[in-house]
Amino acid sequence: MARWPTIVMSSLMLVSSAAAMAQTPKQGGVMRFWHRDSPGSASIHEEATYSTNFPFMPVFNNLVIYKQDVAQNSTESIVPELATSWSWSADSKDLTFKTRSGVKWHDGKPFSANDVKCTFDKVMDKTQDKFRKNPRKAWFNNVREITVQGSDEVTFHMERPQPAILAMLASGYSPIYPCHTTAQVQRTAPIGTGPFKFVSFKQNESITLARNPDYWKPGRPYLDGLEFTIVTNRSTALLGLVAWKFDMTFPLEVPIPLVKDLKSQSAKLQCTVAPTNVSTNLIVNRDKPPFDNAEIRRAMALTIDRKAFIDILSEGAADQGGSMLPGPEGVWGMPKEMVTTMLGYDPDVGKRRAEARKIMEGLGYGPNKMLKVKVSTRNTATYRDPAVILIDHLKEIFIEGELDVVETSVWFAKIARKDYAVGLNLTGNAVDDPDQAFYENYSCGSERNVTGYCNKDLEKQFDAQSQELDVAKRKAMVWEIDRAIQNDVARPIIFHGRMATCMQPEVKGYTQMVNSSYNGYRFEDLWLDR
Amino acid sequence: MLLTLFGISIIIFALLRLVPGNIVDILFDSAGMVNPADKVRIEQELGLDKPLPMQYGRWIGGLLTGDLGYSYVSEKSTIDEIAPRIPVSARLASTALLFAVLIGVPLGVISAVRQNTWIDYLLRVVSLSGLSLPSFWLGLLVLMAFVATFGSIPIYTESPRTFGEAILLVVVPAATVGFRSSALIMRLTRSSMLEILRQDFVRTARAKGASAASVNYGHALRNALLPVVTVIGIEAAFLAGGLIVTETVFNIPGLARFLVESIRNRDYPIVQNLVMLIAVVVVTINFLVDMLYAALDPRIRYSD
């Protein structure tokens, strides 16, 4: 039931977006955005947060991109951008792109297919000039080599067929960088081919972009510039929106309870609620006794009352599901009836907890012998609040959790070196595709597999689904894998969050994507009806 | 003074290294992964693999030759990062201090002179409110009031459209932060004045027919100012680097917010040099306050 308002809002958003397209766009104006924090750098390839994509995606183009006016990212919504077309070899191992001619970098130099090779060779760590950090190198593990034919053709040669490579290339995380600059330049004053040119990036203050008058797409962009003001205090930022200091909030950064509050202050504001494709999950250190015992992990999975989390934290708007984002917004999420068959998803919480208590009692724990543990989490509200609820649920099965709040900047370093026993984490998926989610979060040795979960048999299934060209068959395989991951208590998914994006009624041509927070910020179709 | 600054430099350097996590951990945190080989490479690139005494020597050597290094986060020179923020914070701090003194001292005098009258009670309530209202809450309240009343919000913008807006953007946050300081100054002025007003020389001045204004401001206030000047000095030192709450609420890109962000990022060159700068300002303010003592009280001499 709680789902309906959000679906209606998403649909309304689509309708209003379509209506905006029907109007004649106006040229000019500077769009003022609220940005929630200072990105680590301007280099999209080196960061792993959409705090970087949001302001810097307009500086670049991809080879291919998710169509910016379609809310759901899927294979069908991928369109050429710096490529003009693509084709697969007969064995589906080589993917060739024809690239666009006449495109110029912001510094006036011509773009060529060689820039594509340079970019992804750097991502694959094959160049002298290296990224400081390279969080998505694993996305291209299956790419053996990239070759260039002339100045307008480039081929990705793969070890095995991988249809999802197109999804990776269409993500906001895969911009094309020029060969003639270094990684350092791209971090500080990026050069792209995109609709907007970089003007300035003042740490903790602002990011400014200006219209690229030589943009290859005729008539675009509509706006003269984009201004991102960094406001770390959300209350100040939202007051700024009410006072028309900003035209739009940071995407999906307004919690659902605050939407009503905002609308009460300014009825004209338009807010869209959508899934963030960020899951809140329980992480357990499998190497740390007594959590090396699979039975304890199983009991922990059984005690989670997902509905309670969702009702308390998002007024019932968030979703239950496996590691893939649930439908209808998510393309790969398993059907509802299948979700309830997974370990810990039975709606009868009482029955589950009784089973969990029996397991714990069998291991010697009880009301008089509680298992004491620190529940570590990052020191921000989105982590802390669910961690407190988690502690309450663990108490039901004789686990006495103590909240261990970790300074936000050292959180990842802490969990990466496995310096925790039990924790609550958030995981974002940039692309709604199983290849990204499975390899990144659950494959043996992956840098982002924070629990160290490793199942070689399951990894073979990762490869099998990855090679499957038939979407329906692949979906069925993905659901089985997802179920196995949840039943294995790899990283129990508690809920998939939903948040809102709010904007002034004059903002036109923006489509809030519903299954990724990372891919919808090219902003070339954005305009202001003033 | 130099010895104090040397001690501060050691403390800053040591404390920063004692805090868990370094810039490389934090760089990787934003990438959501850690690659041990890349981590070693970046540590080498930033000189973090060198022994601590060598790192300290390099910093102090740079400080003496004017080479403050570069920010590990933005990769810009430290001077380029710090310099534009100095006028922003200086403007806010000096306006707040001016507000605090101009409000606190006269109201403190009035409160003392009209002791136990309705105006004294009112001013005591106001000063207590100033001391007890958290700046964060007060700042947000002021912003909400502006939005509700005028439909605008006085948060920082680099290029205000009018002169009036430019003034407003400084005065509103300065008044918010200065309110607390003015309350402190008001209370201290009041109690100091009450003590002085009971002294024999004040009675003598009154007996020889001096006007109330002359007694209160010419004789009593000058003598009551010594402890007040000390507090103004302390408040000025606080305002030099402690405006984090106000800068956050009003989104002012000043030194305090930048310092906190830099500490969070373990951006050593920025933090070390910024804290040194604040230390120099605080030491200078203390020096000026000491000089002011001598000006206010002829019995105080530093020449001996």
pLDDT attached to residue A11: 45
Give the pLDDT confidence of B272-299 residue by residue, as tens digits. 999 999 989 988 998 888 888 888 777 7
Mark which residues 201-260 of A lie under 8 Å from B by CB. Answer: 201-206, 229, 231-233, 235-236, 239-240, 242-245
pLDDT attached to residue B217: 84
pLDDT attached to residue A76: 93
For residue A218, report the phi and psi dihedrals to the nearest 5 degrees: -60, 135
Between B33 and A58, whose confidence is greater? Answer: A58
Cβ–Cβ of B26/A413 closer than 8 Å? yes
Structure tokens at B202: 């004040």
Q: How high does pLDDT run on average in chain A? A: 93
Cβ–Cβ of A133/B81 closer than 8 Å? no
Give the pLDDT confidence of A34-56 residue by residue, as tens digits. 999 888 899 999 988 899 999 99
CB A152 within 8 Å of CB A95: no
Alpha-carbon dihedral sign for residues B20, B24, B25, B26 = positive
Give the pLDDT confidence of A478-508 residue by residue, as tens digits. 999 999 999 999 999 999 999 999 999 999 9
- Does A200 contact B at CB distance below 8 Å? no
CA nearest neighbour of A238 among A275, A202, A266 = A266
* Per-residue pLDDT at A10 exceeds 60: no
DSSP class per residue in B115-163: TTSHHHHHHHHHHHHHHHS-HHHHHHHHHHHHHHHHS------SS-SSH
Give the pLDDT confidence of A81-112 residue by residue, as tens digits. 999 999 999 999 999 999 999 999 999 999 99
| Residue A415's pLDDT band (cuts 50, 70, 90) | confident
Residue of A378, A412, A418, A517 to mutate, testing the B interface (most B Cβ within 10 Å of its Cβ): A412
Q: Tell me the C-alpha to C-alpha distance, in Å, between residue A86 and each of A160, B130, B152, B166, B206.
A: 18, 67, 51, 54, 98
Cis ω before A290 (30° cut-off from 0): yes
Cβ–Cβ of B143/A236 closer than 8 Å? yes
Give the pLDDT confidence of B227-278 residue by residue, as tens digits. 899 899 988 888 887 788 899 999 999 999 999 888 888 888 899 999 999 9
The reported pTM is 0.88
Cβ–Cβ of B146/A204 closer than 8 Å? no
- How far, in Å, CA of B72 to CA of B53, rounded? 20
Q: Which amino acid is at A176?
A: I
Find chain B residues with C-beta within 8 A of A130's C-beta.
Answer: 38, 41
Structure tokens at A101: 């001619």
Cβ–Cβ of B31/A265 closer than 8 Å? no
| Residue A187's pLDDT band (cuts 50, 70, 90) | very high
* Per-residue pLDDT at B1 exceeds 80: no
Minimal C-alpha gap between B135 and chain A (Å): 14
Find chain A residues with C-beta within 8 A of B26's C-beta.
Answer: 409-410, 413
pLDDT attached to residue A461: 96
Find chain A residues with C-beta within 8 A of B27's C-beta.
Answer: 40, 132-133
DSSP class per residue in A317-328: -SB--SSSPPTT
Find chain B residues with C-beta within 8 A of A202's C-beta.
Answer: 253
Cβ–Cβ of B261/A38 closer than 8 Å? yes
Chain B contact residues (CB < 8 Å to A)? 20-21, 25-35, 38, 41-42, 71, 73-76, 81, 140, 143-144, 146-147, 151-153, 155, 158, 248-251, 253, 257-258, 261, 264-266
CB A203 within 8 Å of CB B261: yes
Give the pLDDT confidence of A256-269 residue by residue, as tens digits. 989 999 999 999 99
Does ipTM come in above 0.85? no
pLDDT attached to residue A85: 97
CB A44 within 8 Å of CB A53: yes
| Residue B136's pLDDT band (cuts 50, 70, 90) | confident
Give me the mean pLDDT over the A240-257 stretch.
Answer: 94
- Does A416 contact B at CB distance below 8 Å? yes
pLDDT attached to residue A133: 84
- Does A408 contact B at CB distance below 8 Å? yes
pLDDT attached to residue B30: 66
CA nearest neighbour of A321 among A530, A492, A87, A120 = A492
Would you give the DSSP letter of residue A492? -
- Does A133 contact B at CB distance below 8 Å? yes
Give me the mean pLDDT over the A346-365 stretch.
Answer: 96
Cβ–Cβ of A133/B144 closer than 8 Å? no
CB B127 within 8 Å of CB B292: no
| Residue A326's pLDDT band (cuts 50, 70, 90) | very high
* DSSP bridge partners of A83: A99
Would you give the DSSP letter of residue A488? T
Give me the mean pLDDT over the B117-130 stretch.
Answer: 94
Minimal C-alpha gap between B220 and chain A (Å): 45
Cβ–Cβ of B147/A46 closer than 8 Å? no
Give me the mean pLDDT over the A151-162 stretch.
Answer: 96
* Per-residue pLDDT at A3 exceeds 60: no
* Per-residue pLDDT at A307 exceeds 50: yes
Minimal C-alpha gap between A231 and chain B (Å): 6
pLDDT attached to residue B50: 87
